[in-house]
Chains A and B, each alone.
Chain A
Amino acid sequence: MDMNEIKEIFFQECEEQLAELESGLLKLNDGDRDPETVNAVFRAVHSIKGGAGAFGLDDLVSFAHVFETTLDCVRSNRLEPNQDVLKVMLKSADVLADLTNAARDGGSVDQARSRQLIKELEALANGELPQASAAEPAPKAAAPAPIAAPPVNEEGFQPVAFSFEDFEADEPALIEATCYEIVFRPKSELYAKGNDATLLLRDLSRLGEMSIHCDMDGMPPLDRMNPEAAYFSWKISLTTDKGEDAIRSVFEFAEWDCDLDIALAGGSAVDASEELPMQPVPFDLSLLDEAPAGSADEEEQIAIRDRDAAVSAAETASNVLQMAQSSARVPAEAQKNATAAASAAAQQAASAATPTIRVDLDRVDRLINLVGELVINQAMLSQSVIENDTNGTSSINMGLEELQQLTREIQDSVMAIRAQPVKPVFQRMSRIVREIADMTGKSVRLVTEGENTEVDKTVIDKLAEPLTHMIRNAVDHGLETPEKRLAAGKSAEGTVRLTAKHRSGRIVIELADDGAGINREKVRQKAIDNDLIAADANLSDEEIDNLIFHAGFSTADKISDISGRGVGMDVVKRSIQALGGRINISSKPGQGSVFTMSLPLTLAVLDGMVVTVANQTLVVPLTAIVETLQPEASAIHSFGATQRLISIRNSFCPLVDVGRILNFRATQANPVEGVALLVESEGGGQRALMVDAIQGQRQVVIKSLEANYTHVPGIAAATILGDGRVALILDVDAIVAASRGQSLKPEMSLAAAG
């Protein structure tokens, strides 16, 4: 594992921490005052800082540090996390994310913005303190600390103003060191991750006076031992004035990989354990700190050492803060902290109970592809058995049925690997809402529901862009300004609601705002101005609403930075359709609009109806089909030269001859001999697609036609059927568009394949 790989893991972890940070802050914003939430937020920033220090990402470290300091004020109840404070913090979380991205991908960040936020954060950290005396810098408080490691970054470690007046009186009592009994049992994983018990013990020894007993009882004989397993465990009695938090923070990066037990030893500073043959540890450990000159051969070790050094430096620095804090508390509170820490540890243990692994997406894709082949192969096998099965050997058939079930299950499980919760995308949206709300001067609240709804990763990746567009539109166009809202009798704060749920094998994402709704008069006028509709056209409300999906359409009077340049909703619609989904809008004047997107859960398989058209086998996506019917001669009406209509329950619907449009045959087929599939097309209107016969309904594995051949107009993708033949998957919307007189154009690519 080289440095870059370690760094990559760090960035992956950063992403998780940032998500944690943001959701924690949002919880706080909603009034959650659970100390665990504050701790989770603090931990996230702290971990990012620690890791960043190891890789020398100075910008990240210094920003994270200031952020952490302010969060620490919240954690210690010196700063009330009200709306204003959280606004700054949420912005800081955004900047932290930017800095992380900049550190990973290069690029730069808005320096002015981060500097401004650093100032605001510092002001928060300082401002709320009573009698904040800037003249009394923290380093002075650090003086009693045995080793004050040099700060990782000078700029980052702003002195924290601190009032010593409150506790000066009881200082003598508090300085008194406490003796802790620590039982430390590392697990093998601790070593496997490149950590080492010696490093932890060294950090621990810095906290105070330590005596140690190494328990070697679990040691197997030499020839039966695993050299990479953990056998030693330690009983440590540590006399320190820094409190339990400092001890815990030594083990912070190892707490999942060891059993750790910290207890107060009799409450006195006297060494309580006489029976144990403890070895007092000499304090001069400076030699261990020196980097061995000749060990530059292995980068990894250096990295770990560097990381450790940086972390311990950061730790020591935060110890200064912690020490200062703990001295402000009464000792009884230490007990409370212990229980809190214990519950936190229990929670971590619970979350660690479901281990996960990171897998390259490529590998998963390869597996999915292979399983797809397996499904096809299994279908082929059963088909050939059925064809050759003249004497009814049912045992083979039964075996094949079981095989079919198994392959189906394998396919489902493999698909589940790719399934991911939509949470990360939703979280990104909250940031977009904040930024746009800031720019437009509106007050907006984003409510998300069903974040854990799972959907295929490709769908998630492609969802972010259309969602961003729509959120921008919702805030910029949908919601009114606070004044207008108040005038309309609504609360000044607008609400945008983002929901995800599963509905009959698809994922439905809803974006609702409580704004003014679509101004139909304006939309209609605009459409007439842009020659999209005739001036005297009679349109239903729904049709007017759908006009906003036309290219080059914007009702905003003034073009803003955010939206309103007319590229928007048509792009959204196209990307949703490219995902094999559809989008609907419903709007109530004065009450807001709801956009509903329905997307397939996966882009790898599709439920389709297998049909025959001019001796070709085609697959029509089941989601597009409303109903199937057998046309009667009396229901068919000619219309113009070539058009035909079919009357279905007293309404007329254009009849589309699929074989003619795809040029499978030169003349129009007789509708009475075929079957009509009533399909829903993109404009919301219905069309009857005419095919020769229906073969059946089955799940097909999508094979991209573009990747293997080239794009074919009117065809979305291909699949391989049980008999080994390739069947084309129909692109219903392209066919419908073609039936309107537009020819099948290559850019009408609405590929359903991923």
Chain B
Amino acid sequence: MASKKTAQKMLRLAPVLDLNEATALHEKLLALKGSAVAIDASAVERIGALCVQVLIAGAKNWQEQQLSFTFAKVSDAFVKTTQLIGVDIDPLMAKEI
């Protein structure tokens, strides 16, 4: 797989992902284009719908490019919020192998 060749990059999410953070997150994701990404959401305490939108758009984008886009670590708050707003991140969770 192509993704295997490029080194996987880690993106650590800020604790508070609100309106102010959405643009920053968007830019960070754009900067990582072309390489496999693992998202570390373990520090997330609060995430707004805008940032979820950005992450989902990122996931789609990576999927189209056939690169891996996973959530390596997630916090409880992150999981609960995504569940609450009906965004299924299970397929994107890093599989323990």
Contact = CB atoms under 8 A, between A and B. Distances in A.
A191 B84 contact: no
A365 to B, nearest CB: 33
A285 B84 contact: yes
B48 A198 contact: yes
A284 B58 CA distance: 29
Given A282-B80, A285-B80, A301-B16, A219 B50 contact: no
B86 to A, nearest CB: 4
B23 interface: yes
A220 B19 contact: no
B47 interface: yes
B53 A219 contact: yes
A196 interface: yes
B16 to A, nearest CB: 5
B86 A231 contact: no
Nearest to A224: B57
Interface string A209-232: 000111010011111010110111
A223 B47 contact: no
A279 B49 CA distance: 17
Given A197-B85, A198-B84, A222-B61, A191 B15 contact: no
Given A223-B30, A227-B54, A287-B77, A294 B45 contact: yes
B22 A212 contact: no
Given A234-B86, A292-B45, A228 B50 contact: yes
Given A186-B49, A225-B53, A232-B53, A279 B83 contact: yes
A278 B80 contact: no
A25 B33 CA distance: 60
B10 interface: no
A287 B80 CA distance: 8
B11 to A, nearest CB: 13
A225 B37 CA distance: 19
Contacts of A285: 80, 84
Interface string B37-63: 000000001111110111011101100
A97 B21 CA distance: 38
Given A232-B53, A292-B15, A205 B45 contact: no
B8 interface: no
B86 A212 contact: yes
Contact of B19 (A192, A219, A292): A192
A202 B84 contact: yes
Contacts of B25: 227
Contacts of B3: none
Given A279-B88, A301-B16, A191 B57 contact: no
Given A196-B18, A198-B47, A198-B48, A222 B83 contact: no
Contacts of A202: 84
Instruction: Give the residue among B20, B30, B47, B53 with the most A Cβ atoms within 10 A.
Output: B53
A226 to B, nearest CB: 8
A672 to B, nearest CB: 79
B84 A201 contact: yes
Interface string B1-41: 00000000000000110111011011001100100000000
Contacts of A186: 49
Contacts of A298: 16, 20
B50 to A, nearest CB: 5
Contacts of B77: 287-288
B58 A222 contact: yes
A295 B16 contact: yes
A746 interface: no
A520 B25 CA distance: 80
A213 B87 CA distance: 8
Contacts of A281: 83-84, 86
Given A198-B49, A214-B86, A287-B77, A294 B15 contact: yes
A127 interface: no
A724 interface: no
Contacts of B54: 222, 225, 227
Contacts of A301: 16, 18
Given A197-B85, A201-B85, A232-B85, A227 B48 contact: no
A282 B80 CA distance: 8
A683 interface: no
B6 to A, nearest CB: 18
Contacts of B33: 222-223
Given A198-B47, A221-B57, A222-B60, A212 B84 contact: yes
Contacts of B49: 186, 191, 196-198, 230, 232
A94 to B, nearest CB: 38
Contacts of B85: 197-198, 201, 212, 214, 232, 234
A130 interface: no
Contact of A194 (B19, B29, B61, B87): B19
Nearest to B62: A222
Nearest to A197: B49
B31 to A, nearest CB: 11
Nearest to A281: B84
Top-9 shortest CB links A-B: A292-B45, A212-B86, A227-B26, A214-B86, A197-B49, A222-B61, A227-B22, A196-B48, A222-B57
Interface of B: 15-16, 18-20, 22-23, 25-26, 29-30, 33, 45-50, 52-54, 56-58, 60-61, 64, 76-77, 80-81, 83-88
Given A219-B53, A221-B64, 13 more contacts: A191-B19, A191-B48, A194-B19, A198-B49, A201-B84, A216-B56, A222-B33, A222-B60, A228-B23, A285-B80, A287-B77, A292-B16, A301-B18
30 contacts: A186-B49, A196-B19, A196-B49, A198-B52, A198-B84, A198-B85, A216-B56, A216-B87, A219-B53, A221-B57, A221-B64, A222-B29, A222-B30, A222-B33, A222-B57, A222-B58, A222-B60, A225-B26, A227-B23, A231-B53, A231-B57, A234-B86, A284-B80, A285-B80, A287-B76, A288-B80, A292-B16, A295-B15, A295-B16, A301-B16
